Amino acid sequence: MIKNALTIDVEDYFQVAALAEAVKPEDWNAMEYRVEHNTDRILELLDQKGIKGTFFTLGWVANKSPELVRRIHEAGHEIASHGYSHQLVYNQKPEVFVEETRKSKKLLEDIAGTAVTGYRAASYSITAQSRWALDVLCEEGFTWDSSIFPVHHDRYGMPGTPHEPYLLKAPNGGVLREFPLSTCPIGNYRLPIAGGGYFRLYPYWLSRWGLGRINRAGQPFIFYLHPWEVDPEQPRLKVSAISRFRHYNNLNRCLSRLEHLLDDFSFGTVDEVLSLVDIPSEPVAV
């Protein structure tokens, strides 16, 4: 079986972009904190299945829960950076992004005692208007990234970029290995199939078929999930109808679906899977 990349974006329910209309970052410390328990549930499941994955950990969470970062690392999983404050990159000033990226990387490395070489932007917000962030990642010592979703979306996306792992050329000439979020071809359309809300909103058979189609074409896929997505008891915040739909739909089904997915496919860390892929040597400018 082809080995695929299993990734967990370690953030709490109140930090997601879909709920930003209801809670501001300055209010985060007053919110019910649930990410530790939910991440531990996922760690327990992965231990039962004998699977290792990559945990993109938010610096804000790492600062609040350093022991959680240590538990993830000691269980044999890969620690990667999810930035510090989970703000959309294209809404940040470059100097703020630099400061937060550097701060989060150092924090994770100090806690886990290991190098952090991978990065994923909040809400996949490295887009055409924030390409400059790729230069920052190169300058700060990251060697691979998984922030680019090659689709059209109201909040993210770089349509027209490669759909399989590739060597990315940043605007200033630096190079990163890029593992784009997975999509499945249906005619001329690329169906987002990488996990998260898509995994909850689609019926499981569609996710299994779409991800399987990528493997049957000889390529690995990358799958992502958030700890809050296995937590149907989380507080309900007052947000717009579309945000409610995106965030709360099928939370009660997500953990059992994840169990099925772990049985149906082979998984490993991003770094491991990238090491197994024959990536073309010619860098692609995005």
For residue range 188-202, list pLDDT tens digits in order.
889 999 999 999 999
Helix (H) or strand (E) holding 97: helix 94-112
- Asked whether the whole model's pTM tops 0.85, one would answer yes
pLDDT of residue 161: 95
Strand 3-10 with 118-119, pairing: unpaired
User: What's the pLDDT score for residue 155?
Assistant: 78
Contact predicate 133/178, CB 8 Å: no
Residue 173 is predicted with a pLDDT of: 97
Looking at 124-169, list the stretches that DSSP marks H as alpha helix, in order from N- to C-terminal side.
132-139
pLDDT at 154 over 90: no
Characterize the bridge pairing of strands 183-186 and 189-192.
Answer: antiparallel
pLDDT(20) > 80: yes
- Count of beta carbons in the 10 Å neighbourhood of residue 203: 11
Q: Considering the chain, what is the average pLDDT of its residues?
A: 96
Distances, alpha carbon 24 to alpha carbons 80, 100, 103, 129, 248, in Å:
25, 18, 21, 24, 19
The answer to which of 121-125, 151-155, 198-202 has the lowest mean pLDDT is: 151-155
Q: Which residues contact 46 (CB under 8 A, 6 or more apart)?
A: 6, 52, 53, 75, 77, 262
Structure confidence by residue, pLDDT tens digits, 230-262: 999 999 999 999 999 989 999 999 999 999 999
